Structure 1
C-alpha cells in the first residue's frame, strides 16, 4: 500500500498511523519490528513523493505524514518512558541504515542534541541502541564529510560509554573507510584497553611494553570490570571477538602493536589454565576469575589463530608454542578448547615453516614438531571421541600445509601417528572413521605417492590401504565415512596418484560399480564427480600419448576419440551416467546430464549426430529410440535391462556414440533444471487450493503464517 499516496493519506487522516505507533510496543517482537519498518517506509515515501524542494528544520516544509512521524519520534525521545525511547531509537536506526537521501541529514540535525544528552543520563538504559544508531549514521554516505558533526558525537560516545557498551561502536568505527585518524586511534584504544590492563596486571615491573601510551577512559573502570568474574568474562569475550573480526577482515591504516597483543593473549591463556602466578593483586584477581573459563579460552585461541598471519609476531614464538603445547598436553583441556588449540597450532606451524625457510631455524622447528607429534599420539588414543576426531582433523590440516617440508615428513613418519591413524579406520564412532579416512587419504601423499616415500613394503601397504578404504565404501553402515572415502578417491584421481591410465580405469570402474548402488545421494554424486575428473584426465593423457610433439591431426584426433570412448565403455561410465539421469535426487540427474553434454562436445565438436541424418535401421537397431523414450519417462532405472530388441549395450562404443548424438540432452537438461515452482506456484495450483477449501473453511481453518 505504501507505494500509493491515497493509501498513505488514508492511514494518516483516519487514525491508522496512531495504531501503527501503538503497535511499536507490541509484546510480539515480529509485530513491533514490522510496525517500525512500516513507519520507516511511510516516512520515506511521504518525503520522496510529496516534496519538490530541499527541506529545512521548519515543520512547514515537511509533508503532513512526515511531520506526524517526526513529531512522534521527537516526543518519544523526550519522554520519561524508556520503552518509548527504545522504540524511536529502533526506528531511527532502521531509517539511517536503509535511507541515504540528503533529507536524513536535516532530520538528524533536529534530534542530534537530544541523542547526545543520553550519554550523560544514567536513567537511559539503551546505551547499546544509541551506539548502534550512531554507527548507522556514521556509515551513511550523507555524513561522509569529515567535517560533519557526527565524529564529535562519536568521540563523545567513546569517552562516556562503558567499555562493554563502546565495543561494538569502536569496532565499526575502526572499519569505517572515511573515519578521521584521531577518531580511529581512539576507537582502537577502546578495544585494546582491556588487553593492556591484562598485560600490566600480569607482572610487576612490566617486562614488555604495554599496548597503549594513554587511555581514552579511566583505567579504573576497566580494572573494576576485570575484578568481577562475570563482567571480566563478558568484557574479554567481547573484546576478543572484536579483535578477531578486525584481524581477519581488514588492513589497518593504524598498525596494531602485534607483539604486545600476542603477549597479552598468551597471558590470558596462562591465566585460564593456572600456569601463571601474577605479582600484582589485580593479576591474582583476574587469574581467579579466568581459571578454566572455556569461553575466554576459545575466544583467545581464535584471535591467536588470526594473529598468525601478521609478520611482526616472531619474537615470542618459543613462549607461544610452550603455551599451546601445555593446552594440548593438559588432561583438563575442554574438547572444544582443544579443537581451537589444534587450529591455532596448525596456523602457527605454517608460520614457523616460513620463518625456518628464511632464518634457518631448523633445530627449533624439529623440536616443536617432535613435541607436537608426541602429544598427537596420546590424543589419538583418547577415550573421548571428540578428541580423537579433532586430532585427526588437526593431522589432516598439517599434511595439507606442510607435506612438502622435509622436517615435517621425517618427524611424522618417525612417530606412531601413521599407524594410529590407520587403526582409527575401525573406530566405533562414525565421525571418527570419516576423519580417519580423510587423514589416511592425505597421509598417502607422503607415504605412497611422493617420489621420496619409503620403499620398504610400500606396494603392499598402498594396496592394503586402498582395500581398506574400498571396504569402508562398500560396507560401512554410516554415510559420513563413505562420503569421506569417495572424496579421497576423487582427490587421488584428480592429482594423478593412481598410476598408469589402465590402473586408473580399473580403479574408477570398481569404485563407480560400488557407489551407484549406495543409498546416500551424496556418495552417488561423488561417483559422478569421479567420472568427470576421470574423463577429463583421460582425454588429456590420450592427447599427449597419441601426439606428444605435434598438433593433433584429423587422424590422431579420430584415434584419440575412439580410444577414449572405448576406455569410458570398459570402465562402465555410461551405464552409471544414464542411470543417474533418472535418479530420484535431482542434483544427480543435473550433474550426469552436464557430464554427458561435455562428452558430446568432445566427440561432436561441430554438429550432433542427429544433424547427419543417421539411418533409421541403425538408429532403431541400437535401441537408442527406446532409450530416449525411457529417459523422458524418467524410468531408466527400472528398464535399463529390458530384454529383446530394446536392450542398450552401455559398453558398446558404437551404441554410446549414437546415444550421445541422437538423444536430446538439451531437453533433458532443461527439464532437470526446472524447479518445482512452475507447478506449485502456478495460477492453476492456487485455484485448486482455493477450490479445495471452499465449504470446509471452518473445519480446515489455518493460521496465515
Structure 2
C-alpha cells in the first residue's frame, strides 16, 4: 500500500473514524481492525519521515487528548490511543508537538506522577486493565527513538514504573516491559566522559545534579542495571526469571562500556545461582550465557562466560544438563575442552542404553569426573520408561544437530556413534543388542515410535558425515528391516524411506552390491508398501520411488533393475487408487520412469516399447475424467517435465493439442495455470526452431493461441496473470523476430473471432454489457473489432493493452477488499449496522 493511495482513500475518512472511536456509546466487536489501522499509519510515517501527520490531521491531537483525559474511555480504545501516541511521537518533531499540548505527559507520565486515587486522567483510572498497561509499554517503546524521549523517561521517573511492570501478573505486560527495558539498554548513547562512566557505574549521576541527555541516559541505565543485580539475588523465582530474560534480550545489543557494566552487575549473582543448584533456572541462565557468547565478553577471561557454562552442566537433573550441553555444541566459537565435555554429556544416554563407549576422556581428568557426575541420576531415570524415552529422544536430536552442523564429535568416533544409533533402532524392532548391555532398560524401547523417529533423523544427518560409508550396507540392511516390519508406525515408515534415499545415494564403489540390494531386498519391500492399507504409506512409498528414480536415472544398472522388478506395472495399477494423493504420486513416479527409460534408450526393448504410449493414454484419461484436482495437476506437471527434456516421448507431440484443450477448460485454477506453463514450454520449444511463420502455424495447430486467450479471460486472477505474461512474451517475439525476418504485418495466423467461444468472450469483455467494459479502461482496444472478418494474431495481440491488463491484474482483489479505505468504511459502517452485522477485519 503506497502512501499516495493511503492519502487519497483515507485522509478524508480519518476524522469520522476517530469520532466514532471516541464515542463511548459505540463499540467494536473485533479490535483487530485497530491493529490494522496502526499498521497502516506506521507505514505512512516510515515511508515519509518529513510528513507531519499531526499538522495534516489536527483531529489526531484532539482524539489523543480527549481519550487520555477521560476516565470512562474503553480500555481497548485507550490502549490503541497510547500506541498511536507513541507512534506519532517517534520523531522529534512529533514528540515536540505532542509535548507542547501536554499529551505525552498525560499519556505516559500521569500514572507515575499522580498522587492518591483521585489523581491522574484516563490512564490512571484504567490502569487496572492489562490491555492499558500493555498499550502504555508498547507506546513508550515506539516513542523511544530519540534522546528527548530518553530525557522524558528520566525526568518523569518512569524507569521505576517500568521495572514494576516487569513483574506484572499479566505475562503479556511483563514481556512488553522486558522488551522496553532491553530497548532502553540498547538505546544508542552519546559518548560519555570518564566521570560520567563512573557515575553510571555508581548510580550517582542524579545525586550529583548533573544534567543533559548523557547524564539522564546514565541515570536510567544505572537504575536498570542495579535492579537486575537485586533481582538476581531475590528469593522470588519469577523476579529472578524476568531478570535473566532481560539479560538475554539486552546483552547482544549492548555497546561498550555499558556491556561491561551490565555484566559486572550480573556475574556474581549468576555464580551464586549456579552454586545453589537452581535446576529450574539452568536453561534461562544458559540463554543468558549464549547471548553473552555473541559479544566481546566471550573472549574476555575475567568475564568467565565459559566457566559459567561448565557450571550449568553440573547443575540439576540429566535432562537439563543435556539441553545445556546441546546449546553449547551449537556455539560458533567454543574451546575444545568445553565442547568435548558437552558432547560427552549429550552422548551419555545413548552410551548407557547401547553399552557402547562413544567418547574417550582421559581417566581422572576433570572433564571425565564432570561428565560422570550425572551418571547415577541418569541410570535411575533411564530405567523409567517415560524418562528414558525423553532423554534418548533429546540425545538423538542433539546428535542429528551435531551432524548437520558438521561439528562432528570431539574425541568420539562417527562410526561408533552411527553404530550406536543402529543398535538402538534394532532394539526398537525388538532385536536384542549384541553384545548385551549391562542393563535391561532397552526393553522398554521396543516399538517406541518416538525414539525410532529421532533415531532415523540422526541416521539421516549422519549420512552427510565423513567416515560413515563403511557402514553403508549395514545401515541399508537395518532400514530394509524397518521397511518390512509389520507393526511400524506410518510416520516411522516415512522417516525410514527418507533415510533410505540418503544412504542409497551415497557413492559406492561396488555397483553390483547396490544392484543386489535393490533387486533382492528393496524393490520387493517397496512393492508391498505400495499396496499398504494406509494411504499415507502408499503415498510416501510412491514419493520415495519417484526420488529414487530421479537420483539414479543415469545408472544403467538401476534402470535395468527397475525394469525387471515389476514396479512399473504396479505404478500403472496405482493410477486407479481410491485416494487422489496416491494417484498424483503414482503419476509423478511413472513420469520419472518414462524419463529414465528415454534417458537409457530403452524404448526399443519389448518390455518398454509401449510404456510412454500407455502412460500417455492413461494420463489423458485422468485429465479428462478424474474428479480430484491433485491427479490432474500432476498430469500437466509430468507432461511439462517430459517436454523440457532433450528427448521427450515420441508420441507426446500428437497429444499436446488434447492436453492443452482439456487443461484450459478444467474447473481447477491450478490445473489451468499448469496448462499455461505447458503452453509456455511448447511456445519456447517451437519458436526456437524453424522460421517464425512455420512456428506460429505449428502453435496454432496445437491450439496454443486459444489457450492463451481463454486464460486471459479467466475469472481466476493467477490464470489471467500467467496468460497475460505469455501474450506479452508472444507479442515481443512477433515484434523482434518479425522485423528481423522482414515478415509483412499480416503474415501471422488469422482468426474469425465469432467462430471461437474465446473470441466471442473477448469481444464481449472488451465492449462490456450495454457498452461499458468490465475490463479496466486501459485494457480496452481503440476502435471496434472487425465484424465478420478474420483478424490476424498480430492485430489481436497488438490491439490489446496487455501492459494495462498486467498492472490491473497485479493489484489483485486485495487492493479493494483489504485497503485502508475498506477498513475505515467498515469501522464507520458499524455506527449504522444492524445487530447481525460485524466489522470485516479479514
- Structure 2 equivalent of residue 92 of structure 1: 247
In 2, Cα distance between equivalents of 1:686 and 1:67: 45
Alignment equivalent of 1:33, drawn from 170, 175, 181? 175
1:592 paired to 2:723 = yes
Which secondary structure does the structure 2 equivalent of 1:343 belong to?
A: helix
1:513 paired to 2:692 = no
Alpha carbons of structure 1 residues 82 and 129: separation in structure 2 relative to 1, 3 Å: same
User: CA offsets per residue over residues 10-50 of structure 1, 9 Å max, x none?
Assistant: 556657555544444455543432232122223333x6269
- Structure 1 equivalent of residue 568 of structure 2: 418
Alignment equivalent of 2:276, drawn from 108, 118, 121? 121
Alpha carbons of structure 1 residues 455 and 281: separation in structure 2 relative to 1, 3 Å: closer
> Alpha-carbon deviation of 1:698?
10
- Structure 1 equivalent of residue 642 of structure 2: 492
1:2 paired to 2:144 = yes
Alignment of 1:617-696 (within 5 A): 629=766, 633-634=774-775, 645=786, 655-675=792-812, 678-679=815-816, 684-685=821-822, 687-694=824-831
Alignment of 1:12-411 (within 5 A): 17-26=159-168, 28-45=170-187, 48=189, 55=197, 57-60=201-204, 63-99=218-254, 102-123=257-278, 125-140=280-295, 143=298, 148-160=303-315, 162-200=317-355, 210-213=358-361, 215=368, 216-218=370-372, 219-250=375-406, 257-277=413-433, 282-285=438-441, 287-351=442-506, 354-356=507-509, 360=510, 362-363=512-513, 365-411=515-561
In 2, Cα distance between equivalents of 1:451 and 1:524: 32
Alpha carbons of structure 1 residues 658 and 163: separation in structure 2 relative to 1, 3 Å: farther
> Alpha-carbon deviation of 1:217?
1.7
Alpha carbons of structure 1 residues 630 and 295: separation in structure 2 relative to 1, 3 Å: farther
- Structure 1 equivalent of residue 580 of structure 2: 430
Residues 196 and 212, structure 1, Cα contact 8 Å, conserved in 2: no
RMSD of aligned Cα (Å): 3.8
> Alpha-carbon deviation of 1:445?
2.2
- Structure 1 equivalent of residue 676 of structure 2: 528
In 2, Cα distance between equivalents of 1:663 and 1:680: 27
Residues 146 and 179, structure 1, Cα contact 8 Å, conserved in 2: no
Alpha carbons of structure 1 residues 59 and 410: separation in structure 2 relative to 1, 3 Å: same
> Alpha-carbon deviation of 1:685?
4.1
> Alpha-carbon deviation of 1:261?
1.1
In 1, Cα distance between equivalents of 2:285 and 2:193: 32
Which secondary structure does the structure 2 equivalent of 1:362 belong to?
A: helix
1:463 paired to 2:613 = yes
User: CA offsets per residue over residues 455-496 of structure 1, 9 Å max, x none?
Assistant: 216443332211111211221111221122111111111114
- Segments of 5+ residues of structure 2 without an aligned counterpart are 1-142, 206-216, 363-367
Alpha carbons of structure 1 residues 111 and 694: separation in structure 2 relative to 1, 3 Å: same
Residues 321 and 368, structure 1, Cα contact 8 Å, conserved in 2: no
Residues 717 and 812, structure 2, Cα contact 8 Å, conserved in 1: no
> Alpha-carbon deviation of 1:537?
1.8
Residues 198 and 267, structure 1, Cα contact 8 Å, conserved in 2: no
Residues 278 and 315, structure 2, Cα contact 8 Å, conserved in 1: no
- Structure 2 equivalent of residue 571 of structure 1: 702
> Alpha-carbon deviation of 1:248?
2.2
In 2, Cα distance between equivalents of 1:646 and 1:249: 69
In 1, Cα distance between equivalents of 2:640 and 2:544: 21
In 1, Cα distance between equivalents of 2:611 and 2:733: 38
> Alpha-carbon deviation of 1:294?
0.6
- Structure 2 equivalent of residue 550 of structure 1: none
- TM-score, L = length of structure 2: 0.70
> Alpha-carbon deviation of 1:295?
0.7
> Alpha-carbon deviation of 1:268?
0.9
- TM-score, L = length of structure 1: 0.83
- Segments of 5+ residues of structure 1 without an aligned counterpart are 202-208, 547-559
User: CA offsets per residue over residues 365-413 of structure 1, 9 Å max, x none?
Assistant: 4145421111112222222222222221221121111122233222222
In 2, Cα distance between equivalents of 1:582 and 1:144: 65
User: CA offsets per residue over residues 92-145 of structure 1, 9 Å max, x none?
Assistant: 212124556652232112101211222222345222111122112112356456
Residues 535 and 579, structure 2, Cα contact 8 Å, conserved in 1: yes
User: CA offsets per residue over residues 339-363 of structure 1, 9 Å max, x none?
Assistant: 1111111211111xx213xxx3524
1:538 paired to 2:686 = yes
